[in-house]
Structure 1
Amino acid sequence: MVADLPLTTIPPSRPHTHTVIFLHDNRIFARDTVNQLHEATDLSWRSIIQNFASTRWVFPQAPTDEPLTPSVLGQPSWWRGDMTDGDEERRLRNMLPGLRERVRELQKVIRNEVVMLGGRWDRIILGGIGHGAGMALMALMSLEGDSLMDVDGNRPQRLGSFVGISGQIPVSDIRLSSTQQLFSPNRISPAENEVLKKTPLLLQYCSNGGEPYVEQGRTFREVVLESSVEDVVWKEYEDAFPFLNSPRGVEDMKGFFRDKMNMRPNW
């Protein structure tokens, strides 16, 4: 049985029309990401959350490591792996069981939110920040062909959109054979995954994160582009790493929701 991930939620203040499922970065908690999204504002000093009153926000919480002492909390992680292991194939193979478990848990969250929206996959926005964006991407790549994702007899359709902020994924070389195992858990090639291909993606990065971080972003983008995703929007900003840029990043996200989903601010 798939476990339930703890959720931090913000209910809509108007009739529910859309849901955003947004994953936090490693080493911070879901509630901290809520604060981060509120701190980044648009040109009218409103956060992305405040702009959409009819949207439900869902923040899944990753499992935590065992704390070193009883008086402190462990660190949340979407994936764990020995980053010092020089054999990346082996490192990724060791990570696969945990990643697949997280994917199944996130699929359950997505499925429950689709039910609340009457089966409207196209009103679900999936995304995250940092490692959370990478975990969300793996969940998106895993929707096609999953028999558990039926809702009232409906197969998974494209999601409304995907948003990745400072996204990171577990791999540095997308040509490794183990990378295909990561991104093809249902034995369906990402290039044949219609849910992935049809879902519009917004990727935001900040140049002040340093060259290794920017390279991570380029690898993230390569994974997406090599998966034949049809609509990818790439945005770069001078600052704000690792958070959402303000105000341009917030304005760009609002524009992306408007252009791809016809969502309008309704505060």
Structure 2
Amino acid sequence: MVDSTTQSSRSEDSPKPSTLAYPDPTIIPPTTAHTHTIIILHGRGSNGAFFAEPFLSSQTSSGRTLRQHFPGVKWIFPTAKKRRAAAFNRATINQWFDLWDLHDQENRKELQYEGIRETTAFLHHLITEEARLVGLNNVVLGGLSQGCAMMLHAALSYQHDPHSSGGKGVSFGGFFGMSGWLPFADDILNVSIAAGQEEDGDDDFFDFEDGDTDNNSDSTSAAQLRAANLIRDIADLPVLGSDLTTTTLPFVTIPILLGHATDDEKVPIQLGEQARDVLMEIGLDVTWRSYDFGHWYKVPDQIDDIVDFLREKVGLVNVEDAEKI
């Protein structure tokens, strides 16, 4: 049984805006000194507490749970607002954003905007609060299914003020996604390709300086800035201007682990592969793993991979490694 507490993540001097009235997240505190925070989103129709219990109870091949491997981690499992689901006769369910047809995302595409806008604001607030405690470089993001999709958008649109966390890092610690996809993937890919082809900087919407595409590195930077601004526009966030260098975009150096089942009946693996390919197209460090376990996470294989990722790519201290010293 997971020992959990449910509480607000906001501090007294930074109230959560009333317009973002999301349920308080399920928070699983660290069992030793707090070094990292991992924020994970559940899938459509679920909630934070329901997702947290089996996930943190799952054991790796060594017989340990994630909490036992990483006792210094604070785990946060937010819960989505209840929204009308157009695809289910407007039934009210927990979902991060509405969606008509995952297999044809261009169909009634506009249904996604409101939820993505509201949830992005909610998650950015939560991320900023945790960054104040441990530094952005010690905040890891993740999600399952629609939670993975939503968290990718939140990560790609986030802009961090290093002064708000005492200068402790300007990049996320890492990201791991399970059985997910990337909303508006085709649009992101198109603007990224365009960034590599265009030589002038007269595009007011994307607003980057002349010369950003003069070489491969600059093309990648331009693609990243274009991708960020496209996603920020979807979330009704201000466009990032030409005075911003992409080294300050928190997602640029984020290590990413994406896992997907070859026989996923809800989110076809092709959508996970598309997310992988688009993220790699804009120059991100993506590790890909596939499994044969339907729409969920495979135990212990996928939990083992998450532990290895957090240890090797993010730099978390694994109890098993410490015991060998």
Structure 1 residue 16 and structure 2 residue 71: aligned? no
- Number of the residue aligned with 2:207: none
Structure 1 residue 202 and structure 2 residue 202: aligned? no
- Per-residue Cα deviation, 1:182-231 (whole angstroms, up to 9, x for no partner): 52434359x947321200000011112159611111121123122221x2
Structure 1 residue 98 and structure 2 residue 99: aligned? no
Residues 1:33 and 1:100: Cα distance change in structure 2 (over 3 Å): same
SS at match of 2:37: strand
- Per-residue Cα deviation, 1:13-40 (whole angstroms, up to 9, x for no partner): 1111111000000111111111231343
Deviating more after overlay: 149-158 vs 210-219 = 149-158
- Number of the residue aligned with 2:291: 237
Structure 1 residue 257 and structure 2 residue 257: aligned? no
Structure 1 residue 129 and structure 2 residue 144: aligned? yes
Cα distance in 1 for partners of 2:138, 2:291 equals 28
Q: In percent, how many aligned pairs have the same letter?
A: 24
CA contact (8 A) 1:123 1:160 kept: yes
Structure 1 residue 107 and structure 2 residue 159: aligned? no
Cα distance in 1 for partners of 2:46, 2:266 equals 23
Cα distance in 2 for partners of 1:25, 1:112 equals 23
Q: CA deviation at 1:153?
A: 6.4
- Number of the residue aligned with 1:70: none
CA contact (8 A) 1:205 1:217 kept: yes
Q: CA deviation at 1:115?
A: 1.3
Which AA in structure 2 matches 1:232? Answer: V
Structure 1 residue 228 and structure 2 residue 283: aligned? yes
- Per-residue Cα deviation, 1:89-110 (whole angstroms, up to 9, x for no partner): x733342232111101100000
Residues 1:171 and 1:110: Cα distance change in structure 2 (over 3 Å): same
- Per-residue Cα deviation, 1:52-81 (whole angstroms, up to 9, x for no partner): 1111000111001369xxxxx942101103
Unaligned runs of 5+ in 1: 68-72
SS at match of 1:41: coil
Cα distance in 1 for partners of 2:41, 2:108 equals 23
Residues 1:36 and 1:257: Cα distance change in structure 2 (over 3 Å): same
Higher relative CO (Cα under 8 Å, sequence separation at least 6) belongs to: 1
Correspondence for 1:52 among 45, 48, 70: 70
Structure 1 residue 62 and structure 2 residue 80: aligned? yes
Max Rg structure: 2
Which AA in structure 2 matches 1:122? Answer: N
Cα distance in 2 for partners of 1:85, 1:130 equals 14
CA contact (8 A) 2:38 2:140 kept: yes
Cα distance in 1 for partners of 2:120, 2:155 equals 9
Cα distance in 2 for partners of 1:143, 1:264 equals 26
Cα distance in 2 for partners of 1:133, 1:249 equals 15
- Number of the residue aligned with 1:38: 56
TM-score, normalising length: structure 1? 0.82
Cα distance in 2 for partners of 1:85, 1:35 equals 30
Number of residue pairs the alignment of both structures matches: 253
Cα distance in 2 for partners of 1:209, 1:151 equals 40
- Number of the residue aligned with 1:187: 239
TM-score, normalising length: structure 2? 0.68
- Per-residue Cα deviation, 1:149-205 (whole angstroms, up to 9, x for no partner): 85156497111100001112334644577x96752434359x947321200000011
Residues 1:15 and 1:156: Cα distance change in structure 2 (over 3 Å): closer
Residues 1:203 and 1:152: Cα distance change in structure 2 (over 3 Å): closer
- Per-residue Cα deviation, 1:210-266 (whole angstroms, up to 9, x for no partner): 59611111121123122221x211011122x32222112111111111112321223
Alignment of 1:204-219 (within 5 A): 204-210=259-265, 213-219=268-274
Structure 1 residue 28 and structure 2 residue 46: aligned? yes
Cα distance in 2 for partners of 1:252, 1:205 equals 12
Cα distance in 2 for partners of 1:122, 1:155 equals 7
SS at match of 1:244: coil
Cα distance in 1 for partners of 2:103, 2:180 equals 22
Residues 1:188 and 1:253: Cα distance change in structure 2 (over 3 Å): same
